[in-house]
Structure 1
Amino acid sequence: MAVSVNKVDITPPAGTPMAGYYEFLPTDRLSTGVSAPLYARCTILWDNGFPNVIVTADTLVIPRAVNQDIRARVSALGIAGSDFVLTATHTHSGPVLNGDLNPLIAYGIADSSPQAWAVQDAREAFEDAVVQLVSDTLGAVRTPCTLDYKVGTATFAANREGLTYNERDVPILVARSLAGAPLAVLYGYGCHPVSLGSPANPTFNPDYPGVATATIESSTGAFAQFLLGPAGDQDPSQNLTRGTALCQSLGQSLGQTVANAVATPGRSIAGPILTDYQEVSLPLSIPTASTMTADFTSRLNDVAWDKRHATAMLAQIQAADYATAIPLPLQVWKLSGGTPLRLALTGGELVSDYGEIFRSLYPNRSNDIWIAGYANEVPAYIPSDTLLNSGGAQHYACGWTADFPAIGGGAMEFYGWIGHFQGRPPGTSTNGVQQILTAALTGMLA
């Protein structure tokens, strides 16, 4: 084994529209500057000379078109598709990328507006920076290393949808020099990076993962990189006041937890590294055209984002041109030597039920498997049957609302889909999203 690391500043210029917090007008979320730089970070694990590349970027999401463009260009560098991971840290203080959610529906950014031109510039600069980062890291020093793994604990995530599970596990993979010094740290946690809230003076900032990463690096001398876990229904506790102080507090706490864990080696991990990358098609629940037309027409009288979504969906119904399923990338890295460690990465905003589903497959839970979301492409929230059937406390991650349960609502509005995901009704054999995703990923993990 050997390891190479590198990072690049990807902070766009002031005036670029910022992602997240859809309730604002586009002019309210134009960046006024930078309170902390945004980075793309790259770690390459060399397994007998073969590169396994993982890039994390301080963006809200990776849109499908952006992932596909970057993958094609990285492939030209000689990296196999399953050996390349691209993830978003999901900071809500990063830039809108072209196709990030749906710029018109989510943020009111019209195609011909100056904001749209800034978004396109941000996308092109981001793609170029990531590809150059991978190229530079491939050519960087390869330091011989060993790998070890352990799981820490953090307790500030709370389930915002009112379900019982709160994420606690902090997976930590460390590459060490042959003398035992930490060289690179991959770590994760499942909590939305929204600790800053949406200030009146919006500036680019990686949120608590940026503070945690800086804390780890200053404490250990190692390069650090964050993977967001199944955080779709996990927020910092509502008892905490969002802002700069909370961001610093949570980030320092998480970072120190990781730094303390790095001080002593965990379980030895070895290659070969076996990789797989597949796409699954997740079906939407689509009612009749007449039902959709009636419901979306009623929504034209709702708040601005409801109206924008309804207008776009009525146009799709009129043209009989709308999606009935959503592609979702799944990826697995299995570090197979000795007691294996499985790194399972899914696209989308994965909710915590899936963390429980996959951890329960293994006797030592997070000691055997590391679950991460927000990987490669983020087309939507990925709700479990529990959320699809109940709606949850917010009727957001489930993708439907109580007033119009047949059509896309909640988070599906802002991602621009006409329907919510298909669930599996109790007592039926219908394959819904949960069954399709779990069967496909379980097969890849075997």
Structure 2
Amino acid sequence: MSGYGNRTGLSTGVHDPLKATALVLDDGAVAVGIVSVDLLNVSRELTRSVRRSLEERGVRLDQLVLAATHTHAGPHVPARALDVSPVLSADTDVSDTVDRIERRLVDALASAAERVEPAGLRIGHARETDAPRNRRAAGGIGGNVRMPAGPVDPEVTALLIETASGERTVVYNFACHPVCTTGDETLLSADWPGYARRRIEREHADATVLFLNGAAGEINPSGMDPERSGDAVYEYMERIGTTVGEAVLRAIDDAESSDDAIRRAPIWVDEARVGLPVKSTPPVEEIRKHVASLDEQLEQLERAGDEVGREKVFRDRQYARTLLAIAEWDATSLPTHIPYVEVGDLGVLGIPGEALVRHGLDLKAEARVSTLIPAGYANDYVGYVPTLADLESIGYEVRTAKIAPEAIVEFRRATRRLVGADDAL
């Protein structure tokens, strides 16, 4: 399983089903595929294999947005920026699982492409302020961030697609980590998006529901009990999922009340292919000595029974081991692909990793379209993408990021160009 560094062993069962849901939009000249899959992440390799397999089946897409929901209770999918973290890499051979996932993704997209028919698209919005929480403002993972406040993105966007034959698809976007489960739980689960999907389907039984997570890098569900376990995990998951699902229902109502539907707008696609520089590190031997020193400190604290000190040094050792892995890595840059789709006054921007929320808020404010969906965890995984301002307060997301500060500048420049913002940073 993927999502938590303290997990050991394999999954022991299924709490709720994991799904892949696909939408194909085609204006007669340009075709795009948008996919939501209940995984922590996808990868460049998986995205490329899906495109190649689709072409072999005669399905041509001008753009693909293959987005993971980011559930922390799904199967492990290798990705370079994920596996360079020692605590997140997997020793188990997962190639059969990844092949099976790829086949399901291809089947979903091919099925959607075969069923294309005339349709209208309506856009609705709602706000949800109770579910999201900025974990950096609350002290951060490991308690090493001190911020008086931190932003969230309360916007819930729903796209309602209705075909001539009466089929309905709901695509919704909201920025929040699916981390209601814990590292001690070994049941596969879609986490809160699974419960949100069920809540939406109770009101719209005929609809296919597709979730695109947003710029959720440091956004957790609110009201999280760090000691939760067993039934309490899934009760919490249901509470958050139901809360978000209710907000999506309000956004669907907003879409249904709209007199404007996108019916004949041409589809515009664009993309940015960028190389994101990997962060620089001290020399390998220097980091190894530091890791050895932290190992000694950890042993001393464990003998002394100092749990507070042990937790701090344990976190420091994890960060140091990740830094050592980056120093030993044969990569100086992470090449990645940022897809963009525009239909009428709607834009969908694929983000290949965990962008912190300020990126999403800024891009929405500056986009030329009135509705922009930042679709996180799409087509690739480059790890955390902080803003330059986030670097000042350090914290888990900054310490475990694989990219350099200049990569943040490159990411901002590329995404702002795609959504039509001005050139200024």
Among 166, 185, 196, which residue is 2:152 paired with?
Answer: 166
Cα distance in 2 for residues equivalent to 1:386 and 1:306: 20
Q: Does 2:185 match 1:183?
A: no
Cα distance in 2 for residues equivalent to 1:146 and 1:67: 28
Among 13, 26, 46, which residue is 1:66 paired with?
Answer: 46
Matching residue's letter, 1:153: R
Aligned match of 1:146: 120
Cα distance in 2 for residues equivalent to 1:261 and 1:434: 32
**Greater fraction helix:** 2
Aligned match of 1:246: 236
Aligned match of 1:236: 221
How far off its partner does 1:229 sit?
0.3
Cα distance in 1 for residues equivalent to 2:331 and 2:29: 42
How far off its partner does 1:297 sit?
2.9
Contact 1:158/1:167, CA 8 A, preserved across alignment: no
How far off its partner does 1:142 sit?
3.1
CA deviation vs aligned residue, 1:7-55 (integer Å, no higher than 9, x gap): xxxxxxxxxxx1111023x32xx11111101011111123237532111
More relative contact order, 1 or 2 (CA 8 Å, 6+ apart): 2
Aligned match of 2:37: 57
Structure 1: 5+ residue runs without aligned partners? 1-17, 111-115, 401-410, 413-419, 424-431
Cα distance in 2 for residues equivalent to 1:69 and 1:185: 27
Cα distance in 1 for residues equivalent to 2:332 and 2:85: 21
Residues 47-446 of structure 1 mapped to structure 2, 5 A cutoff = 47-48=27-28, 50-79=30-59, 82-99=62-79, 101-102=82-83, 105-107=86-88, 109-110=90-91, 116-117=92-93, 119-139=94-114, 141-155=115-129, 156-162=131-137, 163-178=149-164, 183-200=168-185, 202-220=186-204, 221-238=206-223, 243-263=233-253, 264-266=256-258, 267-270=260-263, 271-287=265-281, 289=283, 292-300=284-292, 301-302=294-295, 303=314, 305=318, 309=322, 312=325, 316=328, 322-336=330-344, 340-362=345-367, 367-391=370-394, 395-398=395-398, 400=399, 411-412=400-401, 420-423=402-405, 432-446=406-420
Cα distance in 1 for residues equivalent to 2:326 and 2:28: 51
Compared CA separation, residues 82 and 385, structure 1 to 2 (3 A): farther
Cα distance in 2 for residues equivalent to 1:109 and 1:183: 39
Compared CA separation, residues 248 and 287, structure 1 to 2 (3 A): closer
Structure 2: 5+ residue runs without aligned partners? 138-148, 296-313, 421-425
Greater shift after overlay, 301-310 or 167-176? 301-310
Q: Could you tell me the TM-score, scaled by structure 1's length?
A: 0.77
How far off its partner does 1:375 sit?
0.6
How far off its partner does 1:76 sit?
3.4
How far off its partner does 1:219 sit?
0.8
CA deviation vs aligned residue, 1:32-85 (integer Å, no higher than 9, x gap): 111101011111123237532111110110022222222222233455564221
Cα distance in 2 for residues equivalent to 1:176 and 1:69: 30
Compared CA separation, residues 207 and 274, structure 1 to 2 (3 A): same
Contact 2:353/2:378, CA 8 A, preserved across alignment: yes
Contact 2:64/2:339, CA 8 A, preserved across alignment: no
Cα distance in 2 for residues equivalent to 1:232 and 1:251: 18
Contact 1:160/1:235, CA 8 A, preserved across alignment: yes
Cα distance in 2 for residues equivalent to 1:36 and 1:226: 16
Cα distance in 1 for residues equivalent to 2:269 and 2:224: 41
How far off its partner does 1:239 sit?
5.0
Cα distance in 2 for residues equivalent to 1:81 and 1:327: 22
Aligned match of 1:416: none
Compared CA separation, residues 34 and 87, structure 1 to 2 (3 A): same
Partner-residue secondary structure (3-state), 2:331: coil
Contact 1:40/1:130, CA 8 A, preserved across alignment: yes
Compared CA separation, residues 34 and 285, structure 1 to 2 (3 A): closer
Cα distance in 1 for residues equivalent to 2:364 and 2:79: 32
Cα distance in 2 for residues equivalent to 1:169 and 1:157: 10
Cα distance in 1 for residues equivalent to 2:389 and 2:156: 24
Cα distance in 2 for residues equivalent to 1:350 and 1:85: 16
Compared CA separation, residues 159 and 349, structure 1 to 2 (3 A): same
Contact 1:297/1:310, CA 8 A, preserved across alignment: no
Matching residue's letter, 1:48: G
Contact 1:269/1:341, CA 8 A, preserved across alignment: no
Cα distance in 2 for residues equivalent to 1:358 and 1:312: 32
Contact 1:330/1:345, CA 8 A, preserved across alignment: yes
CA deviation vs aligned residue, 1:305-329 (integer Å, no higher than 9, x gap): 5576466456x3xxxx621222232
Compared CA separation, residues 308 and 421, structure 1 to 2 (3 A): closer
Compared CA separation, residues 146 and 194, structure 1 to 2 (3 A): same
Compared CA separation, residues 438 and 98, structure 1 to 2 (3 A): closer
Contact 1:45/1:51, CA 8 A, preserved across alignment: yes
CA RMSD of aligned residues (A): 2.6
Greater shift after overlay, 294-303 or 340-349? 294-303
Cα distance in 2 for residues equivalent to 1:129 and 1:372: 21
